């Protein structure tokens, strides 16, 4: 951790500051947390999870990694990195809560100077994020519980297609910090949803609802909608189905039929909300 940043991590057992070491992080009370060989730190205590392997499973995480690597979501990375909050001068402390396999935070950490912290409840996701993006810090943690991160330590918190814990985001953000929420935009993946025989009721726009839920603590400062078409090949279609909740919610026959398609043009749409206090 380079100056001006101090380690913002807190011991999940007692709340004291965690002192970083090469092989281990520990607090003054002697609670130890090993640094895994991939470089991440597991700060998820057993009573903070409902199952042995919570969050996205290995198949979902690897499908998401392949899909990002195919370039189909590159415009999303570019849009995110170009948001005005990242134009602020000087290094920024950025937390990505529900970071998945780390593509978006990884892109940000390459694009600008700062301290980058990725947190996800899925160990597999954090494992492959930390293996690829050594310049960032990665932790396994439950974003819906108290996060092991210091009060008022972050300039920006990202919550992209992930569960939101507004009270914790409010605690962790600096007073002039910004929360970036990414939700599916209008007609996101509409062609795939049609193929999987979802009703039109599933295409609801999510941004107004998200902004309203954030309203007690945050107000909307900026909204950007990114929409584009892209042509997917067979492997990309399979990965996209695997990595989204569509996989679990669609019937086996509809799913098998889509998997047979050699190509499918899809609409990709994301709304990025910037919220401040
Ligand atoms: C749809 S993925 C999005 C990943 C990433 N933000 C992206 O856009 O590529 C949702 C992620 O939220 C994580 N997640 C779900 N519940 C969580 C929780 N309680 N705390 C932290 N992460 C959680 C999942 O493991 C998964 O990696
Ligand atoms: Zn401790």
Domain of 95, CATH number, reads 3.40.50.150
| 123 belongs to a structural domain | yes
- Residue that wins the pLDDT comparison between 193 and 201: 193
161 lines ligand 1 (CB under 6 A): yes
Token match 């100056």: residue?
A: 3
Query: Going by CA atoms, what residue is nearest to atom 15 of ligand 1?
Result: 55
Establish if 33 belongs to a structural domain: no
Q: Tell me: pLDDT of 122 over 90.
A: yes
Whether residue 45 is contained in a domain is answered as no
Q: Output the CA 62–ligand 2 centroid distance in Å.
A: 33
Beta strands in the chain (DSSP E): 24-26, 32-34, 41-42, 92-97, 114-120, 137-140, 154-160, 173-184, 219-233, 263-276
Q: Give how many domains the chain has, as a whole number.
A: 1
- How many angstroms separate the alpha carbon of residue 30 from the centre of ligand 1? 30
With 70 as the cut, is the pLDDT of residue 24 above it?
A: yes
13 lies in a domain?
no
Residue 254 lies in a domain: yes
Say if ligand 1 is within 6 A of residue 125 CB.
yes
Answer whether 147's CB lies under 8 Å from 168's CB: yes
Show Cβ contacts of residue 90 under 8 Å, excluding neighbours closer than 6 positions: 113
Q: Which atom of ligand 1 is nearest to the CA of 160?
A: 6
Q: What's the mean pLDDT in 207-231?
A: 97
pLDDT over threshold 80, residue 182: yes
Taking the centre of ligand 2 as the mean of its atom positions, its distance from the CA of residue 14, in whole angstroms, is 4
Confidence band, pLDDT 50/70/90 cuts, at residue 85 = very high
Alpha-carbon dihedral sign for residues 189, 193, 195, 200 = negative
Range of the domain at 122: 54-276
Judge if the beta carbon of residue 36 lies within 6 A of ligand 1.
no
Query: 9 in a domain, yes or no?
Result: no
Residue 166 lies in a domain: yes
Task: Report d(CA 157, CA 10) in Å as an integer.
Answer: 17
Q: What is the pLDDT of residues 222-270, one digit of tens each?
A: 999 999 999 999 999 999 999 987 777 888 888 889 999 999 999 999 9
* Nearest ligand to the CA atom of 244: 1
Q: Is the distance from the beta carbon of residue 159 to the nearest atom of ligand 1 less than 6 Å?
A: no
- 36 assigned to some structural domain: no
């Amino acid at each position: 951790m380079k100056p001006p940043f101090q380690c913002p991590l807190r011991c999940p057992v007692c709340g004291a500051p965690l002192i970083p070491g090469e092989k281990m992080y520990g607090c003054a009370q002697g609670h130890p947390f090993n640094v895994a060989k991939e470089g991440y730190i597991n700060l998820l205590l057993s009573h903070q999870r409902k199952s042995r392997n919570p969050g996205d499973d290995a198949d979902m995480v690897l499908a998401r990694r392949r899909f990002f690597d195919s370039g189909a979501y590159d415009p999303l990375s570019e849009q995110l990195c170009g948001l005005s909050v990242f134009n602020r001068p000087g290094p920024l402390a950025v937390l990505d809560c529900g970071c998945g396999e780390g593509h978006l935070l990884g892109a940000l950490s390459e694009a600008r100077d700062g301290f980058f912290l990725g947190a996800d409840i899925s160990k597999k996701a954090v494992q492959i994020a930390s293996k690829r993006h050594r310049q960032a810090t990665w932790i396994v943690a439950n974003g819906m519980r108290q996060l092991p991160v210091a009060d008022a330590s972050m300039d920006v918190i990202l919550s992209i297609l992930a569960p939101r814990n507004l009270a914790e985001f409010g605690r962790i953000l600096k007073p002039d910090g910004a929360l970036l929420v990414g939700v599916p935009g209008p007609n996101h993946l509409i062609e795939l949803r049609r193929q999987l025989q979802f009703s039109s009721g599933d295409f609801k726009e999510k941004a107004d609802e998200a902004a309203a839920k954030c309203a007690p603590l945050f107000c909307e400062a900026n909204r950007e909608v990114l929409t584009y078409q892209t042509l997917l090949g067979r492997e990309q279609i399979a990965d996209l189905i695997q990595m989204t909740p569509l996989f679990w919610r669609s019937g086996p026959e509809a799913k098998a039929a889509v998997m047979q398609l050699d190509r499918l043009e899809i609409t990709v749409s994301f709304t990025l909300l910037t919220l401040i206090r």
